[in-house]
Structure 1
Amino acid sequence: MIGKLGEVVIDCHDPVLLAEFWQRVLGGYIVRQSHDWVALEPPSGITVSFQLVPEAKAVKNRVHLDVDVGDMGEAIAAAEAAGARRLGDVVYDELGGFQVMADPEGNEFCLINGPTAITA
């Protein structure tokens, strides 16, 4: 083993705005570390940080966050109210369902409801 995962970092144009969005999705508290870097400490799980970058997002993310939810419809509505948008329809398979979403800067994430998802 080389090390352990310390946090997930998302490049963005507005670290504070994105941290506030993700705080509404995941809960927790925001730690402003500098103008270019803001961290979100969720109540459980790993730290998600937001780093200011000059370039815009151009293609689909190669890495994304999966957010376990208890009720897909309620989670979609709450995410949209917080500033997310749906990308396609809910997909159901033998493992449950997922909805691909985009945060306010277009970064994809999934709402997941299945056997391993948390219950509300």
Structure 2
Amino acid sequence: MRAHLEQLVVDCHDPRSLVRFWSQLLGGTPVDRAGGWSHVEAPGFPRLAFQPVPEEATAKNRIHLDIAVEVIETAVAEAVRLGATPLGGVVSDAQGAFQVVLDPAGNAFCFVRPAA
């Protein structure tokens, strides 16, 4: 059997709000679905879906998105303008650089830039 990644699903308290953050950050049009679900199909990404759950997040997410950008600081500034919160600063190593950011629901993701 060969499988492929269809979509990534994020549990959240307010899918309609969170999908608008991600659609502005990644591109694509937010789609609100039946049952409180929302999703965005952003260019270059699998569908990113948001599933309503009653509880708030209580621990660090166990999986996160790495989003490649040319200039990390510019991407972070735009994400902050949209409602994100940076965690720490840019970290660099032999593989490149990254910065951790929290979306408005507190889900961690990273802006990354590979080493030259």
- Shared topology, TM-score over 0.5? yes
Distance apart, 1:36 and its partner CA: 1.6
SS at match of 1:110: strand
Match of 1:107 in 2: 107
Paired residue for 2:54?
Answer: 54
Look up the equivalent residue of 2:26 and give its one-letter code: L
5 Å-filtered alignment, 1:67-78, equals 67-78=67-78
Alpha-carbon offset, residue 3 of structure 1: 2.2
Is 1:91 aligned to residue 91 of structure 2? Answer: yes
Cα deviation, 1:41-79, whole Å, max 9, x if unaligned, reads 102220000010011101111001111111111111001
What is the TM-score normalised by the length of structure 1? Answer: 0.91
Q: TM-score, normalised by structure 2?
A: 0.94
Aligned-residue offset at 1:23: 0.8
**Cα offset for 1:2?**
5.2
What is the alpha-carbon distance in structure 2 between the residues aligned to residue 84 and residue 96 of structure 1? Answer: 22
Q: What do residues 79-107 of structure 1 show as CA deviations (whole Å, max 9, x unaligned)?
A: 10010001122110011110000000100
CA deviation after TM superposition for structure 1 residue 34, in Å: 1.7
Contact 2:94–2:115 under 8 Å retained in 1: no
Q: What is the match of residue 39 of structure 2?
A: 39
Consecutive unaligned residues in structure 2, runs of 5 or more: none
Shift of 1:19: 0.3
- Name the SS for the 1:48 alignment partner: strand
Which runs of at least 4 in structure 1 moved beyond 3 Å after TM superposition? none
Aligned length: 116
Determine helix, strand or coil for the equivalent of 1:63.
coil
Query: Structure 1 counterpart of 2:29, which letter?
Result: Y
RMSD between aligned alpha carbons?
A: 1.4
1:18 maps onto 2:8 in alignment: no
Distance 1:76 1:56 in 2: 24
The alignment-based identity, stated in percent, is 43
SS at match of 2:30: strand
Report the secondary structure of 2:5's partner residue.
Answer: coil
